[in-house]
Structure 1
Amino acid sequence: MGNQTSSFSDEQFEAYQDCTFFTRKEIVRVFKRYRELAPNIVPFDMKGDESSQICIPYDIIEKMPELKENPFRQRICEVFSEDGSGKMSFDDFLDMFSVFSKAAPRDIKTVYAFRIYDFDGDNYLGRGDLEKTLRSLTRNELSSDDVEFVVDKVFEEADLDDDNMLSYIEFEHVISRAPDFLETFHIRI
């Protein structure tokens, strides 16, 4: 029993390989990690539609070592969960690890980074989004004046149309000049 591989159909494996940046072996490893989080919830055999129906609650996912120390763990889970609640099906979990894999291209990572930082979901990074992002990154260690100063500097540098919010294009432009973005937007499984 201990050396069995997960029970996905060939069609499921092909679909997963088509829409992720993973090999079959990596998909099995991600599933094993998912199942270890809640073996009482996740069955070994996922040949039906269980991979999109069975969900692990956020309060379990947030404690996994890969996310536990990440200040954006709740936003990450909300963005990748289909219903935005933070609970994750295997399909959601696999998507998350695929985007955070080294194999995922910069443009995919940039889209998801933007969504994670867009706390209010309006498709712009406004002052409130940037303040929440900065407070999360610094673990609330900056004064209000410091936060305001940094947010003003971000707008000064990145807000090309001076509308006091960053569009995806403006955000993408900033990220394109960040050489360590690909290294930091990564979770290893």
Structure 2
Amino acid sequence: MTKILQYPELSVNPFGDRICKVFSSNQDGDCTFEDFLDMMSVLSEAAPKSVKAEHAFRIFDFDGDDMLGVSDLTKVIERLVDKNQLTESDMEHLIENILEEADLDDDGALSFAEFEHIIERSSDFMR
């Protein structure tokens, strides 16, 4: 994994470690050559949007409970934004807005179906 994370595309990606973990076929996060090929296949422009969505969801699901809850969303935002830019109140407000927009069943978390629904509306997702 250390060697793979040195690739420029992953070294600057705030989710590089999560990408390696999701594509790793073993528990320690190390990637085999086959894992690496799977990763490149999913990240290629030719991969279907549904496959990309499934893997993105798994990358964002830090606790592995098949839902994107408040703690998962907090971790995603913290990796995308400098912690000093958002107050705790700002973070809470941002997460409330995300859930208000995307949480269709009002259970306080995003299922894969809800995540996929939001992604379908995003033209930037495939880039």
CA shift, 1:63, in A, is: 1.5
Partner of 1:82: 25
Instruction: Provide the C-alpha distance between the structure 2 equivalents of 1:95 and 1:59, rounded to a whole number of angstroms.
Output: 17
Instruction: Provide the C-alpha distance between the structure 2 equivalents of 1:156 and 1:84, rounded to a whole number of angstroms.
Output: 35
Instruction: Provide the C-alpha distance between the structure 2 equivalents of 1:181 and 1:72, rounded to a whole number of angstroms.
Output: 15
Runs of 4 or more above 3 Å deviation: none
Q: How does 1:155-170 map to 2 (within 5 A)?
A: 155-170=99-114
Write the deviation string for residues 130-154 of structure 1: whole angstroms up to 9, x where unpaired.
Answer: 0000111114342222211111000
Instruction: Provide the C-alpha distance between the structure 2 equivalents of 1:147 and 1:83, rounded to a whole number of angstroms.
Output: 34
Unaligned runs of 5+ in 1: 1-57, 184-189
Write the deviation string for residues 101-120 of structure 1: whole angstroms up to 9, x where unpaired.
Answer: 00001000000000000000
SS of the counterpart of 1:181? coil
Write the deviation string for residues 34-62 of structure 1: whole angstroms up to 9, x where unpaired.
Answer: xxxxxxxxxxxxxxxxxxxxxxxx22221
Q: How does 1:1-189 map to 2 (within 5 A)?
A: 58-140=1-83, 141-183=85-127
| TM-score scaled by length of structure 2 | 0.95
CA shift, 1:121, in A, is: 0.2
Q: Is the 8 A contact 1:71 1:139 kept in 2?
A: no
Number of equivalenced pairs: 126
Higher strand share: 1
Instruction: Provide the C-alpha distance between the structure 2 equivalents of 1:138 and 1:181, rounded to a whole number of angstroms.
Output: 18
SS of the counterpart of 2:2? helix
Q: Is the 8 A contact 1:124 1:166 kept in 2?
A: yes
Q: Is the 8 A contact 1:123 1:168 kept in 2?
A: yes
CA shift, 1:72, in A, is: 0.2
CA shift, 1:85, in A, is: 2.5
Q: Percent identity, aligned pairs only?
A: 50
| TM-score scaled by length of structure 1 | 0.65
Unaligned runs of 5+ in 2: none
CA shift, 1:180, in A, is: 0.8
For the aligned residue pairs, the C-alpha RMSD in angstroms reads 1.0
